[in-house]
Structure formats: C-alpha cells, structure tokens
Amino acid sequence: MIKSDRVTTTTCPYCGVGCTLQLHVKDDFIYKVTSPFDSPVNHGNLCVKGRFGYDFVYHPKRITTPLVRRYLLEGKPKPEGREQVFAVSVDGKPIPDSKISNDWDWLETDWDTALNFVADNLTRIYKREGSDAMAVYCCAKATNEDNYLLQKMYRALFRTNNVDHCTRLCHAGSVVALQQAVGSSAMSNTASQVVMNDVFIVTGSNTSENHPIIALQMKEAVQKHGAKMIVIDPRRIDLVDMAEMWLPLKPGTNVPVFTAMAYVIVEENLVNHDFINDRTEGYTEFLSSLETFTPEYAEEISGVPAEDIRKAARLYANAKNAAIYWGMGISQLSHGTASALALINLAFLTGHIGRDGTGLNPLRGQNNVQGASDMGAMPFHYPGYMRVDNPENRAKWEKTWNIEEGGLSLKLGLTTTEILSHAHEGGIRALYIMGENPMMSEPNLNETRKHMQHLEFLVAQDIFINESGAFADVFLPATPFAEKDGTFSNTDRRVQRVRAAQPPRGQARPDWQILCDLALRLESRLGLATAHWTYSNPEEILREMASVNSDYAGITYDRIDKVGLIYPVPTMDHPGTPTLFKESFPRGRGKFHQLEYIPVMEEPNDEYPFILTTGRLLEHWHGGTMTRNSALNEIYPEARVEIHPADAEIHGIRNGDPVKVQSRRGEIIVRATVTEKTTVGVVFLPWHFAEAAANLLTNDVLDPQAKIPEFKACAVQVFPARESDLPNPEAVVTRGRY
C-alpha cells in the first residue's frame, strides 16, 4: 500500500457539478483520487472522469516549455501556408504529401523570449489596426482569477470588449433568456435541492453523462423521496428508466411543447394567480399569444402525444414544489433564447420559483463556465454582469483599474463565433486563446479552419497543443488544475478552492502568472502605467474583482477553505444564498414573454433525411484535450454515431458497421451503434473526437439574440462505408512540427 506524501483537497476540472477531489501525491505524482464523504456537493461520490481522468497531467504530449515558430525566432518574414501547419501528425512528422515549410517548426525557447514575441506582435498589430483588431478567448476550465485577469488585460490595455469564451457555445440562450425574464443568469437553486421537489422536469440534458453526480441526486429524489420526474428529450436517456413520463420530442420543437403545457395550465386554471399578480408582468399579453399552442398543434410539430403534454402540464402545475433542470438541448438552437423563455414562462405561471427546491436551473457545462461568466469573460459584460455599454459601470472599472475617464470602450464586443468570422483584413488580426479549442468546439469546422488561417497572429496558452494550438505562432505552456491555486464557481454558484497538489512540470507556469508577466510587458510597450498587475497570490486578484462585484464581496479564501460559499455573498458575515428570488427578482418583476414557433434551420428532406443532434459522453470532455490524453480514452477510444434500429434496417446498417455521416458542410466516417437510445429519424454524435469531428457537420446559423450556434439540429445523410475508410485516431493532427 502506497503511503502518500500529502493529500491535497481541490475541485474537479471537468464538469460544472464541482465535486471535491482529494489528490493523493507520492513523489510529486498523483497516484489516486478520492473524495470526502462530507463534501456538500458530491458527498464522496465521483464519476469516472473525476476518479480516473487526471493522468493527462503526466502525458508525454504535454507541453512544458515555451514554443515559438522558427520564422519568429530567426527573424524571417512570416511564411505562407498556415493551412499546411495543420497537416502534421501527432508524432511531429509531416504527413507524406505535406509541403509544409520548416519555417513553421516549433522551437523551444525561454519565457522572456516567448513573452516578448507575444508583446511585440500584439502591440504592433494594436498600434496599426486599433482595438477592433484584437480579440481574446477566455477559458471556462481556468480559474476565476485567470479569467478576471485576461478580460482585464484586453479591456484595460487594448480597450476592446472582444472578449468571450465557450459559454457562448453552451448556455448563451439560457443566459440571455434569464437576463431578460428575471435579470440574473445562474441556477436559482442548488442541484442538491432537487430532493425537496415532488415533481421535476429534466429537459435537453443527458444528466447521467453530462452531470453524473446531479443525476445521482435526481435518482435519489425519485427513489428515496418519491418525486416524479418528467423527462422531455429526443433521446431515451438513462433517466427515462425511472421517469414518471418521457416526452420524446423532435429536436428543436421545445417552444411548442413547453408553450402547449402553458396552454393546458391556463385552460385548466392551474395558474398561481397570487404569484402572477405579485411578482410578474406581461401576463395578459402572454395569454393572448397562447391561442395557437394547443397540445394538438404541438403534437403535430413535435411528435409528442397531446395527452402526454396535458398530463405533464398537470403534474408540474399541481405539484407543491416543482423545478426545471435543463441542458444544452434547450439552448444550442437558433431559437435557444426562446426555448429557455418558454420554460421560464412555466415557472411564472405556476409560481414554482423562489422557494427552496423550486426554480429554474440551467445545468452549466464546464467546471468554471459559471465563474468565467461571473468574471466578465463575455463581450457585453464586465465582471458581475455589468453591461459594458453603461457609462456608470465603465466608470467603476476605470476607477478600479486606474484608467483615465472615458478610456474603456462602451462598444459591445464580438462573440466567439463572430470573432472568428471577422478574422480577415480590416477585422480581427490578432487572437489570444487561453485553454479553449475552437477547432473542435465551433460549428462548421471547415469554415472555422479558413478563419483560423486568416489570423495574422495567434497565441495559444494551454497544456497541450490541441487542434487550435496547431495554428498558433507562439505557444505558452500553462499549468493544469493540479498545479495551480485559485477558485472555480460551480453550477450551483458555489465558489470553491482549487489548490496545487504538485509544482508545475518543466517550465510551465500558472495562467495568472503568465498573464501578469505579459501585461507588464504590454504596458511598457503601449506607454501605459495604469492597471495594477503585480499580485503576490491569486486571492489578491479575486479580492480586486470582489471590490466591485458585490456578489463576491464577502468571499475570501479563508471563508471558502472547507466547503465554499454560494454567491451572492454581499458581506463578510453573509452565509451565502443557496436559493435565489425568494422576495423579488433582480429586474423587479419577472417578465412573461410571448413566443412563436420557429423551426430549426435545416429540416430533413430526401437528400438529408436524418436530424443530427450532438452531445457529450460520460468518459470524455469537450474537445478531448484532457480526456483523450488520459486513460479514459482507452475506455471509449472512438466516435460512434447512434442510429435507431428501424432506420438502420432501412439503410442496411448493422451495429458496428462503418458509416459515412454527411451534411451540407462536411462528412465524417465513424462506426454505427444501432440503439433505441435515439428515436426514429434522429442520429446522435458525440463531439469529442478530432478524427471524426461532429462539428464538421453542424450548422453555424446563430440564435439572433444569444449568438449561440444550432449544434442540436442539422440535416444529415448516413451511408454504409468501408472499414478502410475509418480514420486512424493515431494520425490525428494536433501538434504542428515539433
């Protein structure tokens, strides 16, 4: 039995549940992960990722030395052919017919050299082109402190709000809807409060795979507390087995189904009149918009029997305590905002919000997507969701950052997808990516690739050279969660500690240290001496942010040492706020919204007869930067497309057969899994696998309000393929020549 040198308590780097991890370290090597039974989030439970998915920290492909392209280091002009950079295999060898210039080679260097190249090139482009040419992707995997600093760097030094991160790609529709209807954008309750409900709806969320510990709590609510669960989802997800009802709607038909439930609640007078009178506005107008949304109309569009819609509406409305939990099946649509608003209307109609247990709960995806949003890693908001186009907000941050009056920009920034689509002459010229991977996470990757090639200068700050880092000019090696201190804010709004279990490997540095070092170099080149960039530890960074953002005002590292605190924590003696909206909504009254049904942008036809929907697997995480470089990849090593047995038979496809999945934008070859988990006419693909990237197929059409792409529905065809057509995962192109 191994005896640990130390056990470090920290927070899981994968999903938004935010489970507590104990990293057992021997000789600076994490050999085991456990969790304490008294953890308030996960009570000692961990999923396979938290328990076994940490060995990426030691993967030989991890980069621990700053890298600069040969052309930069040797002072040569930038070579043509950035598109060729990607045509290199994982072992660093050019693929046979690649014409890659060796000027694109990665060369190891020291931090001074690498940071000076970054500072020189960003300054050069900024002085030539101005603020609108600069953009940054913050990171939902990095700490609050890292994200706060990076958005501060771009706002304070480059005077731009072109700051965003992957919240745009997961829950932007939910965030916008909640802001419009209640004036806040986080979960109203903690996930563990699910057991306080007698009815709850789970929709657009494969919770067992995406938020496994929350799924356990949902199962406990059903099995131990007798709650009734209603699953509304196109797939026969694991939770269906213990649900009271399953409404298998066609992808993208959320608005008619939820609004038909509202129709039934009104028609049968199950509304909570007191709540509507006391706490909401817009009810009369909302009523007039319900007329067309009969359950029969919704059945015609969604395929869900009208009687089931009626039954679900009655169950939800008649409950003493009811809550709604939703995932990206609601938000990742060209009408994602409307989908979330339709759910919010249900809570207002019934008054199922503002008490322990009841409420509206978008389950946030990444470990710190809530925190990165709180820190202002978005184009429309400073930290604390303060609009950037409001001069009063601007003045507060100018004072905090010691910036001249009127120095910060009032102009709304570009979103992630817009940043790349503006990568051309006269648009975005320099991009800084901290920890994100747009070459896996953006829709329509063939277009994304062209945009990446059009960038003049790209910095990647990460732990691996992933599919996006392969386009970079300079690579800055950062530390993963196990080698840094800071905080993550989970989907419950619980701010928790992240603690280093071991020193950084090689020359890798924590993100916050890299950013401070770079910011000082930028300041001297830009002739500025304004914002404060010298911190002795990450807590000082958090306290600077909390001096303006009252939600975090009472949070110190001491206070969150054991179990974290759930914000809002407005004062140093405030105990935290597990349940929001008990007395009022941040915008005053909750606002009903009138909605109309807008179909998804691509309906199936003879040429493309299937709807493709995409999502995550239990064993993998997002673009796979961490999980595909861990032992988890051995458990689930290749992408598979799920197809219903009836469809498989028609197309002559057997379980395990190679198939080509083709959309109007691209094609991939994968094996088929023939399963009743998916419904007739719908195929499902996970998006973690670079060699069969689901986002080569997805549609880049955006929700006009939230600017979130329609990842959840596009039209595809599925053809039998040959075994020899299957991609070789070992040939995945990830590193550039190095």
Pick between residue 215 and residue 264 the one whose CB is nearest to ligand SF4. Answer: 215
Residue 687 found at the interface with ligand SF4 (CB under 6 A): no
In 3D space, the residue among 727, 685, 735 whose CA is nearest the CA of residue 93 turns out to be 735
Considering only the stretches 44-52, 352-360, 393-401, 569-577, report the one whose residues sit in contact with ligand SF4 under the rule CB under 6 A: 44-52
Least separation in angstroms between CB 47 and ligand SF4: 3
Going 614 to 617 to 621 to 623, the CA torsion angle's sign is negative
The distance of closest approach from Cβ of residue 12 to ligand SF4 in the complex, given in angstroms and rounded to an integer, is: 3
# binding residues, ligand SF4 (CB under 6 A): 13
Using CB under 6 A as the binding rule, whether residue 616 contacts ligand SF4 is answered as: no
Return the amino acid letter for 462. D
For the bound state, the minimum distance from the C-beta of residue 589 to ligand SF4, rounded and expressed in Å, comes to 35
- Output phi, psi for 387, to 5 deg: -55, 135
Question: Within its chain, how far is the Cα of 730 from the centroid?
Answer: 27
387-to-392, 404, 418, 624 alpha-carbon distances in Å? 9, 19, 19, 33
For the bound state, the minimum distance from the C-beta of residue 624 to ligand SF4, rounded and expressed in Å, comes to: 14
Residue 42 structure tokens: 């996960």
Considering the complex, state which of residue 20 and residue 417 has its C-beta at the smaller distance from ligand SF4. 20
Q: Which parts of 203-222 interact with ligand SF4 (CB under 6 A)? A: 212-213
Nearer to ligand SF4, 49 or 62 (CB): 49
Binding segment for ligand SF4 (CB under 6 A), chosen from 39-47, 59-67, 174-182, 422-430, is 39-47
Residue that has been written with the tokens 């965030």 in this structure:
175
CB 622 within 8 A of CB 689: no
Q: What sign does the CA torsion over 55, 60, 62, 63 have? A: positive
Nearest CB to ligand SF4, comparing residues 17 and 693: 17
User: Is 209 or 398 the residue whose CB approaches ligand SF4 more closely?
Assistant: 209
Q: Is residue 626 involved in binding ligand SF4 (CB under 6 A)?
A: no
CA neighbours closer than 13 Å in the CB half-sphere of residue 404: 5
Instruction: Find the binding residues for ligand SF4 in span 400-419 (CB under 6 A).
Output: none
If DSSP states are collapsed to H, E and C, what string results for 489-554? ECCCCEEEEECCCCCCCCCCECHHHHHHHHHHHHHHHHCCCCCCCCCCCHHHHHHHHHCCCHHHCC
Nearer of residues 44 and 656 to ligand SF4, judged by Cβ: 44
The distance of closest approach from Cβ of residue 110 to ligand SF4 in the complex, given in angstroms and rounded to an integer, is: 35
Residues whose CB is less than 8 angstroms from the CB of residue 6 and which lie 6 or more positions away in sequence, other chains included = 25, 501
Least distance in angstroms from the C-beta of 234 to ligand SF4: 23
| 728-to-6, 59, 99, 468, 731 alpha-carbon distances in Å | 40, 20, 21, 20, 5
Q: Give the tokens for residue 139.
A: 């990171």
Stretch near ligand SF4 under the rule CB under 6 A, chosen from 42-50, 149-157, 173-181, 310-318: 42-50
Distance (Å, rounded) from C-alpha 710 to C-alpha 329? 10
Nearer to ligand SF4, 42 or 416 (CB): 42
Residue with smaller CB distance to ligand SF4, 559 or 622 = 622
Q: CA-CA distance, 202 to 195, in Å (whole number)?
A: 14
Task: Return phi, psi of residue 212, to 5°.
Answer: -60, -35
User: Does residue 342 belong to the site contacting ligand SF4 (CB under 6 A)?
Assistant: no
Q: How many residues can be counted in the chain?
A: 738
In which residue are the tokens 């940043």 written? Answer: 419
> What is the side-by-side strand order in the sheet with 494-498?
486-489, 494-498, 565-566
Contact between 365 and ligand SF4 by CB under 6 A: the answer reads no
Which residue among 47, 150, 388, 718 contacts ligand SF4 (CB under 6 A)? 47
- Interatomic CA distance for residues 349 and 360, integer angstroms: 13
Q: Please tell me whether residue 618 binds ligand SF4 under the rule CB under 6 A.
A: no
Among 9, 39, 40, 49, binds ligand SF4 (CB under 6 A): 49
Name the residue number minimizing CB distance to ligand SF4. 50
Contacts of 606 (CB under 8 A, 6+ apart): none
Shortest Å distance, C-beta 15 to ligand SF4: 3
Q: Is 139 in the site for ligand SF4 (CB under 6 A)?
A: no
Nearer to ligand SF4, 18 or 604 (CB): 18
Instruction: Pick one of 9, 23, 25, 50: the residue that binds ligand SF4 (CB under 6 A).
Output: 50
For the CB of residue 143, give the shortest distance to ligand SF4 in the complex, in Å.
15
Rounded Cα gap, residues 200 and 359, in angstroms: 10
The residue among 13 and 295 lying less far from ligand SF4, judged by its C-beta, is 13
Q: Which is nearer to ligand SF4, 12 or 683 (CB)?
A: 12
Shortest Å, Cβ 290 to ligand SF4: 38
Q: Tell me the closest approach of the beta carbon of residue 470 to ligand SF4, in angstroms.
A: 27
- The CB-of-538 to ligand SF4 minimum distance in angstroms stands at 21
Provide the total of helices (H) and of strands (E) in the chain, helices listed first: 25, 30
Closer by beta carbon to ligand SF4, 215 or else 309: 215
Please identify, using beta-carbon distances, which residue of 17 and 697 lies nearer to ligand SF4. 17
To the nearest whole angstrom, how small is the minimum distance from the Cβ of residue 598 to ligand SF4?
Answer: 33
Per-position x/- string for 7-26, each x denoting binding to ligand SF4 as judged by CB under 6 A, each - no binding = -----x-xx-xxx-------
- The nearest distance, CB 50 to ligand SF4, in angstroms, is 2
Nearer to ligand SF4, 266 or 618 (CB): 618
Q: Closer to ligand SF4 by CB, 160 or 167: give it.
A: 167
| Cis previous bond, 477, omega within 30 | no
Specify the stretch interacting with ligand SF4 by CB under 6 A; choose among 47-55, 79-87, 465-473, 633-641.
47-55
Q: How far is the CB of 216 from ligand SF4 (least distance, A)?
A: 9
Say which residues have a Cβ less than 8 Å from residue 492's Cβ, sequence separation at least 6: 18, 41, 187, 190, 191, 192, 566, 578
Which is closer to ligand SF4, CB of 15 or CB of 169? 15
Can you give 299-361 as a three-state secondary structure string?
HHHHCCCHHHHHHHHHHHHHCCCEEEEECHHHHCCCCHHHHHHHHHHHHHHHCCCCCCCCEEE
Contact residues: ligand SF4, CB under 6 A: 12, 14-15, 17-19, 42, 46-47, 49-50, 212-213
